[in-house]
Amino acid sequence: FMFYRYLSEHQENYLVTNNVIDVPEGMTVNDAYKEEADGEDLADYLEDISSSLGYAIAPDDTWATLNAKIDNSEIIPSDYQTIFDNFNKNAELNAEAIQDFRGVFNDINLGDSRLGSSTTARAKSLNNIVKLVNGIEFKDENGRDILGEIYEYLIGQFAATAGKKGGEFYTPHEVSKILAKIVTNGVKESDEAFAVYDPTMGSGSLLLTVGNELPHDARSGAIKYYGQELNTTTYNLARMNLMMHDVTYSNMTLNNADTLESDWPDGPDEKGIDHPRSFDAVVANPPYSAKWDNDKTKLKDPRFSDYGKLAPASKADYAFILHSLYHLNNDGTMAIVLPHG
């Protein structure tokens, strides 16, 4: 819900700053959007918004409209599912951004019995969550947007209460900071984009920490983020996390798959010829001593073939090292956290 509010308000900001809509005095941005993007014109507005932002939210589905419905007791339980279904449908409008927005809300379980035993009770719980999120000040006293920091704080708290399991999706900030300082040490500001890759990205916090350590200015595209994550829920957390830290869809390339099974990014084409992409920095906090399929056919995989050996089936740590090294460019630096010697 924090992410949905972020996207909706980010869209409002876009509509005003780019003069997509006129907001008469005394009218809210949302009301002006509702009035202009009406009937046959709606499709054009959604197309325009999507081409710039990568996603589009119709006037009936905005955060402001949702809150107004709750305040006026006009909400019905199915409204929540409709909002997310419509978001998915509009995510198809921009072919380049589909990968970044499609299914990002699929993990919300609107039928979860912990929200209430009946449809009405669950809707009431959801209404309460919306009002709670709506009450959060997203800017600090200096007017700085701190939504991303709030989101990451919550992920950190969630990881802390999850114990050992929390390490699967969150690298403690102190550890991230050391890794980030290592891979950015000596990097000078340049016109070239700095590319960083995390093959086991979790919720994306390590990627963001690297970005914060770089001397680049706020130019869009100064840093390109690449990451892959096996767990779909965690992958969704990462997509939200990067966007709420103002990383645009065009500057992030994230994937939901098994890093050790098939190489990514790029990797073999349809003819089986390998085209690996290499990066200025590779950072990783892979799952410790993970089990993996070390079938001998993987000895032909260019990531492992030079070594003539594969990591044991019960401990994939070395396979993660080889994968990461394989994607490092000649001047790049890698920092990886591993267990036991």
pLDDT value, residue 12: 96
* Rounded distance between C-alpha atoms, residue 172 and residue 175, angstroms: 5
Provide the CATH number for the domain formed by 2-134 in this structure: 1.20.1260.30
Q: Does residue 341 surpass a pLDDT of 70?
A: no
Question: What's the pLDDT tens digit per position in 135-186?
Answer: 998 888 887 878 888 888 888 888 888 777 777 778 888 999 999 999 999 9
* Residue of 165, 174, 221, 223 lying closest to 198 (CA atoms): 223
**For residues 299-319, average pLDDT:** 95
* Rounded distance between C-alpha atoms, residue 52 and residue 168, angstroms: 33
**For residues 233-251, average pLDDT:** 93
- Average pLDDT along the chain: 92
Token pair listed for 180: 């980030």
- Residue that is written with structure tokens 């994306």 in the block: 204
pLDDT value, residue 150: 87
* Residue of 198, 266, 202, 200 lying closest to 240 (CA atoms): 202
What percentage of the chain has pLDDT greater than the value 70? 98
Per-residue confidence at 93, pLDDT binned at 50, 70, 90? very high
pLDDT value, residue 275: 82
**For residues 215-231, average pLDDT:** 83
Question: What's the pLDDT tens digit per position in 250-279?
Answer: 999 999 999 999 899 987 778 878 788 999
CB 179 within 8 A of CB 337: yes
Whole-prediction pTM: 0.90
Question: Who's near 96: CB < 8 A, 6+ residues apart?
Answer: 54, 249, 250
Token pair listed for 11: 């869209």
* Rounded distance between C-alpha atoms, residue 273 and residue 265, angstroms: 14
pLDDT value, residue 151: 86
Per-residue confidence at 220, pLDDT binned at 50, 70, 90? low
Residue range 160-336 forms a domain whose CATH class is alpha beta
**CA 191 centroid distance within chain:** 25
Question: Who's near 64: CB < 8 A, 6+ residues apart?
Answer: 8, 12, 28, 29, 30
* Rounded distance between C-alpha atoms, residue 88 and residue 232, angstroms: 16
Other beta carbons within 10 Å of 114: 8
Q: Which of 61-70, 159-168, 190-199, 214-223 has the highest mean pLDDT?
A: 61-70
| 211 CB-contact burial (10 Å; exposed 0-12 / middle 13-18 / buried 19+) | buried
**For residues 214-233, average pLDDT:** 84
CB 211 within 8 A of CB 223: yes
**For residues 190-209, average pLDDT:** 93
The DSSP call for residue 135 is T
Question: What's the pLDDT tens digit per position in 115-128?
Answer: 999 999 999 999 99
In the structure, how many helices (H) and strands (E) does the chain have? 12, 7
What percentage of the chain has pLDDT greater than the value 90? 79
Domain range summary for the chain, segments of one domain joined by +:
2-134, 160-336
End-to-end CA distance of the chain: 42
